[in-house]
Amino acid sequence: MTLLRALACQTLALLVTLSFAYWLPIFHQPIPFLLIQSGFAVVGSMLLRQPTWWIPIHLLFLPSVFICFTLALPAWFYLLTVIVLTLIFWGTIRGDVPLFLSSPEVAQAVTLLLQQERATTFADLGAGVGSVAIPVAEQLPAVKIEAWERAPLPWLISEWRGWCLSNFTASRRNFFAADFGKYDVIFAFLSPLAIPEVSEKIKSEMQPGTLFVSSSFPAPNWQPESIQHIKDRRKTVLFCYRI
């Protein structure tokens, strides 16, 4: 459904811009045509209430296609690009958030939380390339770390980065199949669309006294025990919830 909406935005924007070009000669030039088409695609995306991360995709899509055609790249390049992007953004077409990497400052904050909690088990949901799980595993060798990531390429990178860490495991499975009851602390940097369902599973499965940390997006209808403002480039906010 998400992909169909994106295609609808691009198609309608293209048709509208072509109609403008029929009446206004200025749109016969590539740059005005591309700018207007991209703008209409963004407006359509906002009207259809797509997640905000679709905006740069709509802005860059047709200009990128135009540039690729002018470069006369070989056909295999396009196929390779599609394969690589699919492996990285595996769940995006189903509405998942694209790959965003947590900062070293976030990893350090999570490490301190685990030490304060005296945790022995930790799960990172939507772990990406292990930007949080790997530093935590390196600094806390006594803590059992499980990183959950279903996109093939980020999971493979995470697996490779942590192959020598005996306390680290990378799982390429849907984390909704996991038993949340075995973790002392769970960290998640997910789409705000996924947070409600994740938080309900956490409430029902995690043990009393354990901790859930949501990066950037708060859980609905749940008062956090504390909120940490991280001094990184993204100004990340960590919402900490006590079970």
Q: What is the pLDDT of residue 95?
A: 45
Rank 167-181, 191-205, 218-232 by mean pLDDT and report only the highest: 218-232
133-162 pLDDT, tens digit each? 999 999 999 999 999 988 888 888 899 999
**CATH class, 104-242 region:** alpha beta
pLDDT of 181 strictly over 90: yes
Summarize the confidence of residues 90-99 as an average pLDDT.
53
114-135 pLDDT, tens digit each? 999 999 999 999 888 899 999 9
Length of the chain, please? 243
Whether the predicted model's global pTM rises above the 0.75 cut: no
Where are the chain's structural domains?
A: 2-72, 104-242
Identify which of 50, 52, 201 has the alpha carbon closest to the alpha carbon of residue 125.
Answer: 201
| Residue 198, CA atoms < 13 Å, CB-side half-sphere | 25
